[in-house]
């Protein structure tokens, strides 16, 4: 009989192990643990009380019976003074005696008191033996570890959530800073108000159409915002000059993409090649651009996107030295400069996304809101359809 009892106790400890390591949710785990205890000691009533954080209140987290008992009715003094995870028969506590609590076990994990287990009388009405209490002590320690692990996990989860919020806040501040920077750049040139913001948006629209990942899209968005940061170094006289540039002025003006590159190279971005995309936004496929006179195969897709977005916005915006073009003319100009200045895949993506925006297929259009009011969208749409068909043929041939 002793051997059978020992085997049953070992089996109960096994049940406890299965439950403590199960993937059940915390409440199911607690309910299961309580049933293991009740079944092991044949107790009709039992409860587990737990304090999730050192400063929080202890409360019942699983119980069978003892429904009229409140944690507030229990004097925690003797519980704290008792041995760690050592069960005892509570004496002199009216609330516990009244509820029928036969055994109480304080739950400790290392130096933290985290709760207690209550057990009512046995179904067989037999008293708890010394062996029972010893076994209950072992079980209590396992329960304490489970509760502590849960508390730690909960704490880590909370910390993660806090970090996520912090990250979002930093990201927001970062983007606000970018926008402030872009506003400072655009404010230098009276004719390029919101230019950086629009270029960023157009670039994002094209990149998304090309299937870029959200991470990479964020990178080109930043590149769009900062591509003209080098203009902060160029004098206002040159930037706002209404007559054609002299060769020296042109040379000075052309410095801005390299200056932008130098300025933003100081920043360690989490996105790939932002500084290179910025540096090459005035390069051309035919190798006649600046500052490095790179040709098609040397240019990244990001640089090609930014080039087209920048040019389209420049064409459709008023400048000190010329009137703005309407969208139809700008599209015709982009097409004229295909292969020399612009990549056909990028122009195709641009046309597709603008066409979708006009058709209302994109809930948050990036390009359409900046097209001049009064433009005949049906004419633009027809033009885009023709371009898309033509460019799709080109792409297939390529």
Partner 1 sequence: MTTSPFQVTSRLVKDVAIVYPRGYLNNLSGEYLVNECGRHAQAGLKKIVVNFHETDLINSIGISFLLNVMEDLQTAGGTLCFTEMKKVHLDTFEMLGLTKYFLFFPDEEAALTALDARKR
Q: What residues between 45 and 64 interact with partner 1 by CB under 8 A? A: 64
The verdict on 372 binding partner 1 (CB under 8 A) reads: no
Residue 84 near residue 106 (C-beta atoms within 8 A): yes
The verdict on 42 binding partner 1 (CB under 8 A) reads: yes
Residue whose C-alpha is closest to residue 196's, from 355, 370, 358, 40: 370
Task: Count the residues of the shown chain that bind partner 1, applying the rule CB under 8 A.
Answer: 23
Residues 58-76 as b/e (b if ≥16 CB within 10 A, e otherwise) read bebbbbbbbeebebeebee
End-to-end Cα separation, the chain, in angstroms: 86
Looking at 10, 28, 59, 70, which residue binds partner 1 (CB under 8 A)?
28
CB closer to partner 1 out of 1 and 91:
1
Q: What residues between 122 and 141 interact with partner 1 by CB under 8 A? A: 123-124, 126
The distance of closest approach from Cβ of residue 25 to partner 1 in the complex, given in angstroms and rounded to an integer, is 11
The secondary structure element, H or E, covering residue 105 is strand 101-109
Residue whose C-alpha is closest to residue 312's, from 294, 292, 332: 332
Cα 190 to Cα 199, 233, 254, 271: the distances in Å are: 16, 16, 18, 31
The verdict on 396 binding partner 1 (CB under 8 A) reads: no
The verdict on 91 binding partner 1 (CB under 8 A) reads: no
CB closer to partner 1 out of 19 and 275:
19
The verdict on 35 binding partner 1 (CB under 8 A) reads: yes
> Contact region for partner 1 (CB under 8 A) — 27-35, 172-180, 268-276, 360-368?
27-35
The distance of closest approach from Cβ of residue 24 to partner 1 in the complex, given in angstroms and rounded to an integer, is 8
Alpha-helical runs (H) found in the chain: 2-20, 26-41, 76-81, 94-99, 130-188, 195-209, 214-226, 236-239, 247-264, 274-279, 301-315, 327-336, 344-358, 377-397
The distance of closest approach from Cβ of residue 23 to partner 1 in the complex, given in angstroms and rounded to an integer, is 13
Query: Helix (H, G, I), strand (E, B), or coil: what is residue 272?
Result: coil
The verdict on 15 binding partner 1 (CB under 8 A) reads: yes
**Residues at the site binding partner 1, with contacts judged by CB under 8 A:** 1, 4-5, 8, 11-12, 15, 18-19, 28, 31-32, 35-36, 38-40, 42, 44, 64, 123-124, 126
């Amino acid at each position: 009989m002793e051997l059978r009892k020992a085997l049953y106790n070992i089996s109960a400890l096994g049940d406890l192990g299965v439950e403590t390591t199960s993937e059940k949710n915390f409440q199911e785990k607690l309910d299961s643990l309580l049933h293991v205890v009740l079944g092991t000691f044949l107790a009709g009533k039992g409860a587990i009380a737990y304090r999730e954080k050192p400063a929080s209140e202890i409360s019942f987290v699983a119980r069978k019976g003892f429904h009229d008992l409140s944690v507030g009715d229990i004097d925690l003094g003797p519980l704290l003074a008792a041995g760690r995870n050592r069960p005892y028969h509570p004496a002199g506590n009216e609330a516990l005696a009244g509820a029928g609590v036969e055994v109480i076990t304080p739950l400790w994990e290392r130096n933290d008191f985290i709760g207690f287990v209550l057990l009512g009388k046995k179904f067989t009405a037999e008293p708890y033996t010394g062996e029972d209490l010893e076994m209950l002590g072992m079980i209590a320690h396992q329960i304490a570890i489970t509760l502590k692990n849960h508390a730690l996990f909960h704490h880590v989860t909370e910390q993660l959530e806090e970090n996520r919020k912090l990250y979002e806040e930093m990201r927001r501040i970062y983007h606000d800073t970018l926008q402030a920077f872009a506003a400072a750049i655009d404010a230098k040139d009276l004719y390029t108000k919101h230019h950086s913001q629009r270029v960023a948006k157009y670039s994002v629209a094209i990149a998304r159409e090309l299937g870029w990942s959200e991470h990479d899209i964020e990178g080109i968005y930043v590149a769009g915002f900062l591509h003209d940061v080098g203009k902060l170094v160029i004098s206002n006289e040159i930037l706002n000059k209404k007559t054609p540039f002299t060769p020296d002025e042109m040379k000075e003006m052309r410095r801005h993409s390299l200056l932008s590159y130098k300025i933003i190279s100081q920043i360690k971005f989490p996105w790939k090649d932002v500084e290179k995309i910025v540096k090459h936004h005035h390069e051309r496929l035919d190798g006649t651009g600046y500052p490095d006179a790179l040709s098609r195969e040397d240019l990244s897709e990001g640089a090609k996107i930014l080039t087209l977005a920048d040019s389209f916005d420049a064409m459709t915006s008023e400048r000190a030295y010329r009137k703005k073009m309407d969208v139809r003319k700008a599209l015709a100009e982009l097409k004229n400069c295909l292969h020399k200045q612009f990549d056909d895949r990028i122009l195709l993506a641009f046309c597709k996304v603008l066409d979708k925006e006009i058709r209302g297929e994109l809930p948050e259009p990036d390009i359409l809101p900046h097209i001049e009011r009064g433009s005949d969208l049906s004419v633009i749409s027809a033009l885009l359809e023709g371009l898309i068909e033509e460019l799709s043929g080109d792409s297939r041939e390529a």
